[in-house]
Structure 1
């Protein structure tokens, strides 16, 4: 009997040791998979890609602007468009031709140009767009091309056999900023609500700096398992980006 127990213990410890040493999603080696003068696409995990385009501004120069692509079983959802319709076409072609994916939806995460300036390119390809209801209203008020469909609090979009979650947690960078989370790969697109490490507060023309920290605190609480976070601008990282943003706007 004692021999059998010892055998089971050894077997259990062996299985546990193997499980602990299995690679996790955060161990994926990120790499640039596409680059032109207007667009960079970086693979973050097996099923998620960061897209970066550029927006010429008066106050901050030529600003790199991030978005996210999530995919599963030849389907994809895009968060934020590139900054021009030409670059948006480039992104759509990459997703369709290189990733061989059907684009189920595009979701601007707030109403500024760095999120929806390329929306017409998606609409021309009959790709439906979705956004928080305030984003639609603010885009129309700003005479921008507005997303076609709206939601009131949160939205779940199917991607292949899985899904992605888009939710409004409160005001911060704007009155309408939402966060997207892809549970399969534990990847979050924080958009301009989330700052890269050591970033300044940036453009505050439409911001609610009073609520910003509390809003990000809610995001952190809602997604404790997140491993990779993509901010609207700059370098991505882990939950340290949430902590940094919370601290930056705490006072």
Structure 2
């Protein structure tokens, strides 16, 4: 009996030690690069939010987010910074600080805050991938054009892991796609997803009627998502999906807020 009691004490001690170790391993987000035009924030062990700025007539200087995911010295970037200069700085930082090869750049829709710095990626021989409608709209508007198109969804390797880019329906634009990094359960929602407290923002290319159903589809596809990075503003959890659904749902008849978000 005494031996059994000693064994139980050892097991309990090991369990407590393991729990303590897990608590200590919780990642604390930190800013890892900052200039006047570009900020990079590490938000998980292998994922980084990049934020650049777009000068607009209606909303002033707007911060615009993208996402970098890494694995085994490889990286994939969702959305370019807003111009070639900021994109060049981001590419340099990924190569020299993270020591990663950039496997792909994926603009999540055709606006400047997604592909405004695409030329810099082209000049650095980074393959670009976009939903076929994004390429059509970029051509129509005379914007930089991604090289490779996909329909419905795209799966690419980053090191030993996969990323997914998928079109769920119209919302902010006709071509908005969502990026997902399953190994860290992190989503790049782009401008389809709003930060908590945001207004409806720019609706010039939007399908407001379909927007809530599109986000509902995103929510059903990724029930285990832990972190969501919106196109503008603060990242959060799956509450961002519910907030966006309610913002554009039939019960919301309030006018568009004077906000770029």
Please indicate the TM-score interval, normalised by the length of the shorter structure. over 0.9
TM-score of the aligned structures, taking structure 1 as reference length: 0.93
The number of residue pairs the alignment matches comes to 250
Query: How far does the alpha carbon of each residue in 1:88-147 deviate from its partner, in whole angstroms, 9 at most, with x for none?
Result: 000000000000000000000000010001000000111100000110101101111110
Question: Would you say 1:90 and 2:89 are equivalent positions?
Answer: yes
Relative to 1, partners in 2 of residues 1:92 and 1:15: Cα closer, same or farther, differing over 3 Å?
A: same
3-state DSSP class of the match of 1:23? helix
What is aligned with 2:144?
145
What is aligned with 2:102?
103
Relative to 1, partners in 2 of residues 1:4 and 1:141: Cα closer, same or farther, differing over 3 Å?
A: farther
CA contact (8 A) 1:190 1:232 kept: yes
Relative to 1, partners in 2 of residues 1:148 and 1:26: Cα closer, same or farther, differing over 3 Å?
A: farther
What CA RMSD, in Å, does the superposition of the two structures yield over aligned residues?
2.0
Equivalent-residue separation in structure 1 for 2:175 and 2:75 (angstroms): 24
What is aligned with 1:41?
40
3-state DSSP class of the match of 1:209? coil
Query: How far does the alpha carbon of each residue in 1:175-222 deviate from its partner, in whole angstroms, 9 at most, with x for none?
Result: 100000111111110000000000000000000111111111111111
Q: How does 1:8-157 map to 2 (within 5 A)?
A: 21-23=20-22, 27-157=26-156
Equivalent-residue separation in structure 2 for 1:77 and 1:217 (angstroms): 26
Relative to 1, partners in 2 of residues 1:3 and 1:108: Cα closer, same or farther, differing over 3 Å?
A: same
Alpha-carbon shift at residue 22 of structure 1 (Å) = 4.8
What is aligned with 1:198?
197
Runs of 4+ in 1 over 2 A off after TM superposition: 2-27
Equivalent-residue separation in structure 2 for 1:191 and 1:26 (angstroms): 28
Equivalent-residue separation in structure 1 for 2:204 and 2:56 (angstroms): 14
Q: What runs of 5+ residues in structure 1 fail to find an aligned partner? A: none
Query: How far does the alpha carbon of each residue in 1:57-97 deviate from its partner, in whole angstroms, 9 at most, with x for none?
Result: 00011000000000001000000001110110000000000
CA contact (8 A) 1:164 1:181 kept: yes
Query: How far does the alpha carbon of each residue in 1:150-177 deviate from its partner, in whole angstroms, 9 at most, with x for none?
Result: 0001011100111111111111100100
Query: How far does the alpha carbon of each residue in 1:36-67 deviate from its partner, in whole angstroms, 9 at most, with x for none?
Result: 00000000111000000000000011000000
Q: How does 1:210-225 map to 2 (within 5 A)?
A: 210-225=209-224
Relative to 1, partners in 2 of residues 1:21 and 1:96: Cα closer, same or farther, differing over 3 Å?
A: same
Relative to 1, partners in 2 of residues 1:14 and 1:212: Cα closer, same or farther, differing over 3 Å?
A: farther
3-state DSSP class of the match of 1:247? helix
Equivalent-residue separation in structure 1 for 2:127 and 2:25 (angstroms): 31
Equivalent-residue separation in structure 1 for 2:7 and 2:78 (angstroms): 49
Equivalent-residue separation in structure 1 for 2:20 and 2:128 (angstroms): 41
Relative to 1, partners in 2 of residues 1:25 and 1:144: Cα closer, same or farther, differing over 3 Å?
A: farther
TM-score of the aligned structures, taking structure 2 as reference length: 0.90
Equivalent-residue separation in structure 2 for 1:25 and 1:42 (angstroms): 20
